Amino acid sequence: MNKLTTVILFSLLSLFALVSAFPVRRDVWDPQILSPNASTVWVVGQTYNVTWNTTDAPAHITNSIGTVVLATNGTEDYENPLAANFSILLGSISITVPDVEPGSDYAIVLFGDSGNFSPDFTIASS
Ligand SMILES: *[C@@H]1O[C@H](CO)[C@@H](O)[C@H](O)[C@H]1NC(C)=O
Ligand SMILES: *[C@@H]1O[C@H](CO)[C@@H](O)[C@H](O)[C@H]1NC(C)=O
Ligand SMILES: *[C@@H]1O[C@H](CO)[C@@H](O)[C@H](O)[C@H]1NC(C)=O
Ligand SMILES: *[C@@H]1O[C@H](CO)[C@@H](O)[C@H](O)[C@H]1NC(C)=O
Ligand SMILES: *[C@@H]1O[C@H](CO)[C@@H](O)[C@H](O)[C@H]1NC(C)=O
């Protein structure tokens, strides 16, 4: 066996070992956000539950740690998450509305496996 063949063979064996070390299939899951929705009005400073549908949650989730972020006009405020470090399997997380400009172009993004946007909803001043 020449050197190149040995290297290729060894690489293939390593790759195989790596793949078989993670036999559990992980499913990407985008839970549907139930609230807030298009008819929701949140008031600045009040506490609400963000809720999502967990009935179709797969057995193995790639990332089950959730984060809730507020978005305006499609711009997500990653710096100030409304909630973080909760289990995405809860189906509900309590958040307090930050002191933002009132408007009807707000949405929340629920992150776990990937980001899922709610419909646009309204935030009113207190
Ligand atoms: C929309 O959100 C409100 C709370 O903001 C909730 O009471 C209502 O059930 C939601 N509607 C649907 C269709 O899930
Ligand atoms: C949020 O959910 C919790 C637990 O399900 C419930 O006790 C609480 O009353 C809810 N809060 C609001 C503002 O709906
Ligand atoms: C939750 O998801 C399941 C399965 O996709 C669906 O049958 C059910 O109607 C959904 N529940 C709500 C409240 O949307
Ligand atoms: C979002 O876009 C709308 C329409 O372009 C604008 O009126 C509004 O001020 C924007 N909101 C923010 C917070 O930038
Ligand atoms: C997330 O929550 C777990 C359990 O409550 C805690 O041990 C961990 O330190 C938290 N991580 C962060 C980054 O807050």
Atom of ligand 4 nearest to the CA of 101: 13
Nearest to 77 by CA among 48, 108, 116: 108
Residue 9 DSSP label: H
As a whole number, mean pLDDT of residues 29-47 equals: 95
73 CB near ligand 4 (under 6 Å): yes
Q: Which ligand is nearest to the CA of 35?
A: 1
Q: 60 — phi, psi (to 5°)?
A: -120, 115
Architecture of domain 33-124: Sandwich (2.60)
- If DSSP codes are grouped into helix, strand and coil, which group holds residue 50? strand
At 69 the pLDDT is 96
For residue 61, the cross-strand partners are 27
Q: What confidence tens digit (pLDDT) does each residue in 61-118 have? A: 777 899 999 999 879 999 999 999 999 999 999 999 999 999 999 999 999 877 889 9
Atom of ligand 1 nearest to the CA of 40: 5
CA 12 → CA 9, 20, 76, distances in Å? 5, 12, 42
Q: What confidence tens digit (pLDDT) does each residue in 17-29 have? A: 555 555 556 677 7
